[in-house]
Amino acid sequence: MKLCASQVHADERIHREVDLPSIIAVDDHRAVQSLLSTKLPKNTSGPHGGRPTPPGGAARDGGAHLVGRVVWHLRRGDSAASPGESATSAAPTAGASARQPAYSRAVQDVYFTWPDRRFRYECRGCGACCKGHGIGLDVAGGQLVQLVARRPAIAAFLRRRGEAITAFNPRDRCWFLADDGLCQIETEDGRAAKPASCRLFPFNRVFRIGAYTIVDYNSVICPLTVGDDGVTHAEIAAEIATISDPTIIGTPLAARDPVAEGRAFVETERTIATALFGAPDDLTAGWGAQADVAALDDERAAASAAFAAIVGAAWQPPSAATLAAASWLTPSLRFNELYGPRQYAPRSTMAPVLARMWLAWLGFAALGEQLANRALGLQELTTLWSEQAPVMHAVARWTEVPALKPGPIDLPGVDPHHLVRSLAQAFVDNRKTRRPLSALLAALPADPTTRVTTIKTAEAILRAGFAGR
């Protein structure tokens, strides 16, 4: 997404003019800071807790989970806060985001979820982002009024999503997607008139926690690639500076103490991301960034035992190319797990689980390479994480002891041979026997098809079984 002056239109009612050439030529934090202080949204009130999916933009994988990653700590004031949770807080509760403070006149920190200049994006009109994901509008900036004035029929398709007003668009293609793959609004009215979330895409996942802004991207819908001349943080900051509506550029993340939790998250995740980006094809460095490097051999052995028992194959690392792509994605996927809907554990206890899930993910990536006979890219690795997360969680908990209290429990509607029910009962009985998950799963039929599908179907049981840890 290369921005240039000719793409910025001067209609002040829709788009606040920014001197892009002077910004893009400067590759330092001050450029981003200056841009993001150009215009700030008015407030963040509203019940947007739960999953961090911006009301005006598509979820990363159709709603299954969320994202965030980067590294550069761009300071803009005295107070601190950032995306994440402190080491003492628990998973978010319903309505927690309502306790978020309103926007202040200064953003103290911005946390991008990708490395500066490394992700390349060139729109070729594939239309994948323009099919059924909704149209996010900068209502506070006057974009809704302008759009309805120019295209009155769109009023019939407006809808409210929390604090946001969005427009419905069909799954087949957006109302404004022309046959040549271009946006009719952009070609006829100029880029400034293009809906705000569409202008930002694929970097349109923008969240807030306390005084921190987290800028994320969509690596499922958009075919991002890795290169040395990719999108800069300053370019995205320039686009954000043109948008007023907090539902587009400030979806609040649930947090009990946004200031403390934000600071803890950024300090921890920045360190991890820096190490991952510094040696993307080094598995030991990647593990050491997230956990005790001295434990890697033991963790690999445990993962290999779990893989052998579940899928009938030993764990092995992927190729260097796939490992590098996975490293670019890792901080983002960590952010997704910490603030996404799965909530395998309170954020304060997720660190070792996330590291082991990461190791399992790499093992599944290696299996995917065997099927594809090639290295895997960003899109494939992102969807692989989402699909395999229940099994990755089981691998991560392989040597731990699950237990459930007796009482009602939700079971799947389809449960061949009552395997999930039997596993749930084993978790209840395990309050006394205290056997590790590996021993309980050994009671399942030995074929990989049954074990993999049962573990995925029993995801809620496994989550509940470790919830009290």
Task: Give yes or no: residues 99 and 200 share one domain.
Answer: yes
Of 45-59, 63-77, 252-266, 302-316, give the lowest mean pLDDT range: 63-77
Going from the C-alpha of 350 to that of each of 52, 142, 353, 462, the distances in angstroms are: 18, 41, 5, 15
pLDDT digits (tens, 9 = 90+) for 185-227: 999 999 999 999 999 999 998 988 888 888 988 998 888 889 8
For residue 439, the one-letter residue type is A
Among all chains, which residue has been given the structure tokens 């993999």? 452
pLDDT digits (tens, 9 = 90+) for 8-51: 222 222 222 223 222 223 334 444 444 444 443 333 333 223 33
Rounded to whole angstroms, how far apart are CA atoms 82 and 100? 12
Q: Is the pLDDT of residue 420 over 50?
A: yes
Identify which of 95-104, 335-344, 377-386 has the greatest average pLDDT: 377-386
Q: Going edge to edge, which strands form the sheet with 205-209?
A: 73-75, 109-112, 212-216, 205-209, 251-252
Task: Give yes or no: residues 103 and 239 share one domain.
Answer: yes
Task: Give yes or no: residues 221 and 299 share one domain.
Answer: no
Rounded to whole angstroms, how far apart are CA atoms 241 and 38? 6
Both tokens of residue 141? 């900036």
Task: Give yes or no: residues 392 and 420 share one domain.
Answer: no
Residue 114, burial from CB neighbour count under 10 angstroms (0-12, 13-18, 19+): buried
Q: Does residue 226 lie within any of the structural domains? A: yes
Rounded to whole angstroms, how far apart are CA atoms 106 and 97? 20
Q: Would you call 161 helix, strand, or coil by DSSP?
A: strand
Of residues 89 and 96, more confidently modeled:
96
How crowded is residue 230: how many other Cβ atoms within 10 Å of its Cβ? 19
- How large is the greatest C-alpha to C-alpha distance in the chain, in angstroms? 70
For residue 160, the one-letter residue type is R
* DSSP type of residue 220: T
Task: Give yes or no: residues 206 and 299 share one domain.
Answer: no
Rounded to whole angstroms, how far apart are CA atoms 269 and 165? 33
Q: Is the pLDDT of residue 85 over 50?
A: no
The percentage of the chain sitting over the pLDDT mark of 90, rounded to a whole number, equals 52
* DSSP type of residue 103: P
Instruction: List alpha helices for 178-232, DSSP H.
Output: 184-189, 196-200
For residue 251, the one-letter residue type is T
The percentage of the chain sitting over the pLDDT mark of 70, rounded to a whole number, equals 76
Task: Give yes or no: residues 178 and 294 share one domain.
Answer: no
Q: Does residue 235 lie within any of the structural domains? A: yes
Both tokens of residue 62? 């159709």
For residue 344, the one-letter residue type is Y
How crowded is residue 245: how many other Cβ atoms within 10 Å of its Cβ? 25
For residue 138, the one-letter residue type is D
Residues 6 or more apart in contact with residue 175 via CB below 8 angstroms:
154, 157, 169
Rounded to whole angstroms, how far apart are CA atoms 161 and 283? 41
Q: Is the pLDDT of residue 84 over 60?
A: no
pLDDT digits (tens, 9 = 90+) for 441-460: 999 999 999 999 999 999 99
Q: Does residue 409 lie within any of the structural domains? A: no
pLDDT digits (tens, 9 = 90+) for 53-70: 554 444 433 333 223 332
Of residues 230 and 31, more confidently modeled:
230
Task: Give yes or no: residues 348 and 421 share one domain.
Answer: no
Task: State which of 396, 427, 443 marks the end of a domain.
Answer: 396
Going from the C-alpha of 153 to that of each of 147, 161, 193, 196, the distances in angstroms are: 10, 20, 16, 19
Task: Give yes or no: residues 66 and 215 share one domain.
Answer: yes
| Selection from 181, 226, 222, 229 nearest residue 202 by Cα | 222
Q: Does residue 273 lie within any of the structural domains? A: no
Task: Give yes or no: residues 126 and 155 share one domain.
Answer: yes
Of 170-179, 346-355, 423-432, give the lowest mean pLDDT range: 170-179
Task: Give yes or no: residues 257 and 286 share one domain.
Answer: no
Q: Does residue 391 lie within any of the structural domains? A: yes
Q: Does residue 406 lie within any of the structural domains? A: no
Task: Name the pTM for this structure.
Answer: 0.77
Task: Give yes or no: residues 433 and 313 share one domain.
Answer: no
Q: Does residue 269 lie within any of the structural domains? A: no
Rounded to whole angstroms, how far apart are CA atoms 125 and 121? 12
Return the pLDDT at 31. 43
Going from the C-alpha of 140 to that of each of 76, 348, 454, the distances in angstroms are: 24, 36, 47
| Selection from 234, 199, 243, 204 nearest residue 41 by Cα | 243
Mean pLDDT of 227-252: 90
Return the pLDDT at 19. 30
Task: Give yes or no: residues 192 and 307 share one domain.
Answer: no
Task: State which of 261, 291, 324 marks the end of a domain.
Answer: 261
Domain count, the chain: 3
Among all chains, which residue has been given the structure tokens 């997704």? 336
Q: Buried b / exposed e across 387-399, counting CB within 10 Å, b at 16+?
A: ebbbbbbbbbbbe
Return the pLDDT at 53. 55
Q: Does residue 309 lie within any of the structural domains? A: yes
Q: Is the pLDDT of residue 293 over 90?
A: yes
Going from the C-alpha of 249 to that of each of 56, 71, 206, 244, 380, the distances in angstroms are: 10, 19, 5, 8, 27
Return the pLDDT at 469. 54
381: domain range?
279-396
